[in-house]
Each structure stands twice: as structure tokens, then as C-alpha cells.
Amino acid sequence: MNTHESMSHMIVRRFIKHRLAVVFTIIFLVLSLIALLAPWIAPYDPNAISASFSAPPTNLHWLGTDQIGRDVLSRLIYGMRISLLVGICATLISITIGVILGLVAGYFGGIIDSIIMRFTDMVMSFPYILLVLVAAAIFEPGLVSIILILGFVDWPGITRMVRGNVLSLRESDFVKSARIAGLPRHQILFGEILPNTVAPILIYATNVLAMSMLDEAALSFLGMGVTQPTASLGNMLNAAQSMNVLTDKPWLWIPAGSLIIILVVSINFIGDALRDAFDPNSAQ
Amino acid sequence: MSRYIIKRLLSAIPVLIGITMIDYLIMSLAGNPLEMMVGPRISQAALDIRAIQLGLDQPIYIQYFVWLNQLLHGNLGYSISSYQSVSTMILDHIAPTLLLMVSSLLLSYVIALPCGIYSAVKQYSKMDYAIVTTSFVASSIPSFFLALLLIYVFSIKLGWLPSNGMVTLGTSFHLLDLVQHMVLPVLVLALSFAGSNIRYIRSAMLEILQADYLRLAKAKGIGMKKVILKHGLKNALVPIVSLIGTQIPLLFGGAVIVEQVFSWPGLGLMTMSAIISRDYPVIMGVCLLSAIVVLIGNLVTDILYAWINPTIELR
């Protein structure tokens, strides 16, 4: 047994032990690659209209065509690209806000802490989905608004977690010694404390990413998120609100829904494996 | 203990005031009721008179206090589209939502408690693996998609269950009819709650099973069953109570999308149609009500938590 194993090596080794997570990581990477290379992979232009409307899957169109004759497979690939983009951007925004507020509240304490945390309590008191829906009603629906809405609503959980971490780290010996050594505050905050909270933030981020993608899907499904003609996994499901599509044209809604499930399951498993890998109390 | 309760109640007051402020701010950000009147047949002078009548010529903080005063007298305002009072509308729609959510949460605990406990006790077994994997999948399915799938299978293909509303239109109330209408929405909600609840209960139980007093109980050889039932479960109650507390907000806000898909005539459906028609007084009334319920829920959870678990630091 190598006792001088490096931290990153150990984390990778523990991550790989989680077999299912490895499988889903590979699936997620392949899907992300497909999304990234959409213009080269998609068989058709996602907005190009062909002569066949609502046609079932054929050799020409593997997943059929939608009501106005667009290729479903191409829209699925481009839709996945948009859904991932929304999820990742919204997550980055909420993590940035949450981390900064949490660091400031936890490190400075006192009245600043009280103000930030009471504000966090207030935002958390409104049911999340209601806030998102109300914001979506106030602003014009569209790609940018949905990213901003999800990003600006989902930060309180991260703030609470980061603050809790900072509070316990602030009293740790290495931060105390940095303070005694006379390091400036911002350096203690960003150079000493932040790197030691990266693991929980990363794990939380996978959670937020999964949530954001589910919310994008729900909002677009209700017609309040990403709007036509841009395809997103959620607004492709919007068509299933019509009884005719739901009953007789499963190729229009089942693939998009299944793809959301696969993406979100993958993200959740990656988060779970990261949690195990970073856990200092883990058995091995 | 009573000092803790008083302290906790006092700290809720600024949050409550803040909630009303945010609520009012969103309402004024969302738009001004005069905008709805603007048209070729309305003169500027008429708009000005109306603004004075509605008090819109006052600065925003005065408007806020006027609104707050009305609120304290129980007046949540009137719907722009139906002219009904918002409080009556909420009262009319709250029962179906509570029925739906309470049944779903109960069912989710019925599923999650045995699964979570079994999974923790038999950690790393095949069954544990299967339960955890299933719970991940259950919480990764968008609720509306699961709803569509269930409607597709049980309502359209098999024709067993209705997919719309709470009772069959044109018939008198019948319990069996109500239950049939409840099956699909309750199933969708319960499965998605159960997904996260299983993992929560499992990890709470695991933590307890590793505690020293349980190791001691095991070492004494009083038998695994007795260890789990007598010592484990009792202590698992603490995290489970706080889990229930965090799910109180779901009672109001959690069903918007599912109610929409199943046309369930509750608060969610009402809110959704208010959102679509931009009926701000209704939206804000619902938001305010649910925020206050959440606040009370958190308070009750904290106090219960302190009451069940005497080792908690009361500060």
C-alpha cells in the first residue's frame, strides 16, 4: 500500500471505484461531445423544413419529423446543446453569487453576516418554482432570461453551505497562523479558505446543474423558457401537450424526455461519486 | 427552552418584514395597473386622476405602507381578471392542493422509510445498490415527463384511470371517483419525493448505525433487529422530523407543474393561470402566503428539533 499517494490520485482512484458513476461519466462526456459538435454531427439543419410533416421514423429521418417538417434527431442534438448551455451558465452564475456571499458572510461575521443570511432566509422562504415562474412571467421569455432567472434564484443553498464551511475553517490552525503571519484578508479568503471549500462546492454544483436542467425543461415545456424556433429538450416536449401528439406521435416527445433523464441521472451519479471520492471519512 | 423559542420567534420578524418588502417590490417591478388601461380612448388627464385614486402618485415606500396596512387587515387585494378577492380565491383552491400534497408526501414516506432503512442496514448489498440507483433515477425524471408517460400508459393505452381534473364532470361527488383521479398525480409527486427521501433517510440511518452507542448495543449482543428498532429508529426520528419540515413548502409550491398537467383544480393551477394572464395581485398573494407558511414551517421544525434532541445547542 502506497502511503504517499497524492490527493488527486486518491480522489481519482476512489471515483473509479464507483462503477456506475464511471459508466455515466462516459455517457455524459459522449453526449456533451455530440452537443459540442452538433453542426457536424446533426444530419439536418435543425430549423430546415422538409416536405414531410409529423412523419414517423424512416431511413431519411431516424426519429421522424415534427409538425412543421423539421428533423427530430437534429433538433434533439441542438436542443441538448441549448439545455446543457442553459444548465451550465445558470450553475456558474448561482455558484459565483453563492460562493461570494457565503465567503463574505462567514469570514467577516457580525452585522454583514446577519444581513446576508437574513436576506438568504427571505429568498429561501419563497417556494423556488414559484419564484422562477413569476420571474419568467415578468421578463420576456428567451435563452438569456432563462439563464439569468435560474442563475439568480438558485444561490441561497450554496451561500449557506459555503458560510458554514468558512465558519469552521476560520477557527482552524492554518487560517489562524495565516492571520498571525499578517496575510491580507483577501489573500486569506481566496488563497487559504476558498481552496479548502472547493470539494463541497463542486459536489453542490452538480446538484445545481441537475436542478437547472430539470427547471429549464419544465419552464420550456410550459412555454415560458427557451422559445421557438430554437430547440431545447424542454420545448420539444411542449408538443406533447396536444392530445394528438401524446397519443399517436410518440417519436415527438419520448426521445427528448428520455434524453433529459439520461443527462440528469448522469450528473447526479457524477455528483454522488465525487461525494464519495472527496469524503475524508470514507473507508478507503 | 422557552427562551430559545422566544429568541427564534424574534429572529423571524425581520425575515417576515423582508418577505413583504420583496413581495411588494416584485409586484411593482412587474408593472403598473395603469398600463393595462392605456389606449386611444383614455386621455392623459383620466390616467392621472386614476393614478391619484389608486394612490400611485405617492412615493413607493408610502404605497408599500398603505398595502401593508391593508394586508394586516386581511385584504390581499383583488384579481385583475375576475375581480374576486384574492383571499377568497386562495381559500377556494387550497383544499384540493392540500389533499394532493399530503397524500403524496405520506405515500413517499411509506415508500422511502422501509427502503431507506433497509438500504442503510444492508449497506453495500445488491439490494442497497438497486434501491439507491432507483432513487437516483426517480429524482432525475422531470415530473411533467413522468406525468405524460403515466397518462400515455394508464389513461390512453389502457384506459384505466382518468388524467384530468378531480372529479368526472357532470357526475355527483363520489369517493371512488375522487380516488381514481388522484392516483396518477399522487404517484408522480410521491415518486419524485421518494427519490430524494430514500437517500436522505439512508444516510441519516447510516450515521446513526455508526454511532458509538449503537456499536455498544451490537457488542452487547442484543440482536440486530432490536438494535435497529429500539435504538436506531428512535434516533433517526430527529433528522426525519427536519426532513418533514423542509418539505412543508412543497405543500404549496411543489405541485404547480403537476397540477397544470393533470388540470388539478388547486392552488397551483390557479397560480399558473394567474401567471399566464399576468394577474399580479393573485400571484403576489400566493407568493406571500407560501413564504409565510415556509417561515412558520422552519420555526416549527427548529423548535421540534430542539425538543426532540436535547443535546442541540440552544443559542
Q: What is the pLDDT of residues A90-100, one digit of tens each?
A: 999 999 999 99
Contact B278 A137 (CB under 8 A): yes
Q: What is the DSSP string of A126-166?
A: S-HHHHHHHHHHHSPPSHHHHHHHHHHHS-HHHHHHHHHHH
Q: What is the pLDDT of residues B38-81, one digit of tens each?
A: 566 667 777 777 777 766 667 777 778 877 887 787 777 777 77
Least confidently predicted of A70-84, A173-187, B104-118 = A173-187
Contact A231, A82 (CB under 8 A): yes
Residue type (1 letter), A13? R
- Pick from B144, B154, B284 the residue to mutate for testing the A interface (most A CBs within 10 Å): B144
- Pick from A117, A118, A126 the residue to mutate for testing the B interface (most B CBs within 10 Å): A126
Beta bridge partner(s), residue A65: A71
Q: How far is A263 from chain B (nearest CA, A)?
A: 9
Contact B295 A127 (CB under 8 A): no
- Pick from A19, A125, A284 the residue to mutate for testing the B interface (most B CBs within 10 Å): A125
Q: Which residue has the cell 412555454?
A: A223
> d(Cα A91, Cα A206) in Å, to the nearest integer?
9
Q: What is the pLDDT of residues B253-269, one digit of tens each?
A: 667 888 888 888 888 88
Contact B142 A210 (CB under 8 A): no
Contact A118 B15 (CB under 8 A): yes
- Pick from B19, B80, B145, B257 the residue to mutate for testing the A interface (most A CBs within 10 Å): B145
Give contacts of A136 with chain B, Cβ < 8 Å. 275
Reading the block at residue B251, the C-alpha cell is 405543500
A71: three-class secondary structure by DSSP: strand
What is residue A90's predicted lDDT score, i.e. its pLDDT?
A: 93
Q: What is the pLDDT of residues A107-134, one digit of tens each?
A: 887 888 888 888 888 888 777 778 888 8
Q: Is the pLDDT of residue A1 over 70?
A: no
The stretch A141-159 carries a mean pLDDT of 87
Give contacts of A221 with chain B, Cβ < 8 Å. 142, 144, 257
What is the CATH topology of the domain spanning B87-281? Answer: MetI-like fold (1.10.3720)
What is residue B315's predicted lDDT score, i.e. its pLDDT?
A: 44
Q: Is the pLDDT of residue A232 over 70?
A: yes
Q: How far is A138 from chain B (nearest CA, A)?
A: 6
Contact A126 B294 (CB under 8 A): yes
| Contact residues, A window 31-90, toward B, CB-based 8 Å cutoff | none
Reading the block at residue A245, the C-alpha cell is 401528439
CB contact, 8 Å: A133 with chain B?
yes
Among A119, A134, A261, select the one facing B283 at the smallest CB separation.
A134
What is residue A284's predicted lDDT score, i.e. its pLDDT?
A: 42
What is residue A283's predicted lDDT score, i.e. its pLDDT?
A: 47
Reading the block at residue B273, the C-alpha cell is 393561470
B/e letters for B154-173, b = 16+ CB within 10 Å, e = fewer, are: bbeeeeebbbeebeeeeeee
The CATH number for A8-50+70-278, chosen from 1.10.357.10, 1.10.3720.10, 1.10.150.20, 1.20.120.450, is 1.10.3720.10
Q: Is the pLDDT of residue A88 over 90?
A: yes
Q: Which residue of A has its CA nearest to B257?
A: A218
Contact B156 A247 (CB under 8 A): yes
Q: Is the pLDDT of residue A282 over 60?
A: no
CB contact, 8 Å: A137 with chain B?
yes
B78: three-class secondary structure by DSSP: strand
Give contacts of A131 with chain B, Cβ < 8 Å. 287
> d(Cα B85, Cα A282) in Å, to the nearest integer?
57
Reading the block at residue A207, the C-alpha cell is 446538484
Give residues with Cβ within 8 angstroms of A83, minimum separation 6: A213, A216, A217, A232, A233, A234, A260, A263
User: Per-domain residue ranges for chain B?
Assistant: 13-72, 87-281
What is residue A161's predicted lDDT score, i.e. its pLDDT?
A: 87
What is residue B219's predicted lDDT score, i.e. its pLDDT?
A: 72
Interface predicted TM-score (ipTM) of this complex, two decimals: 0.83
Contact B145 A268 (CB under 8 A): no
> d(Cα A263, Cα A271) in Å, to the nearest integer?
12
Name residues of chain B where pLDDT drops below 70.
Answer: 30-42, 54-57, 218, 221-234, 251-254, 308-315
Compute, in degrees rounded to 10, the torsion defined by CA atoms A63, A67, A68, A69.
30
Query: A with B: how many residue pairs have Cβ under 8 Å apart?
Result: 120
What is residue B71's predicted lDDT score, i.e. its pLDDT?
A: 79
Q: Which residue has the higher pLDDT, A4 or A164?
A: A164
In this prediction the pTM is 0.83
Among B136, B252, B275, select the one facing A269 at the smallest CB separation.
B136
What is residue B34's predicted lDDT score, i.e. its pLDDT?
A: 63
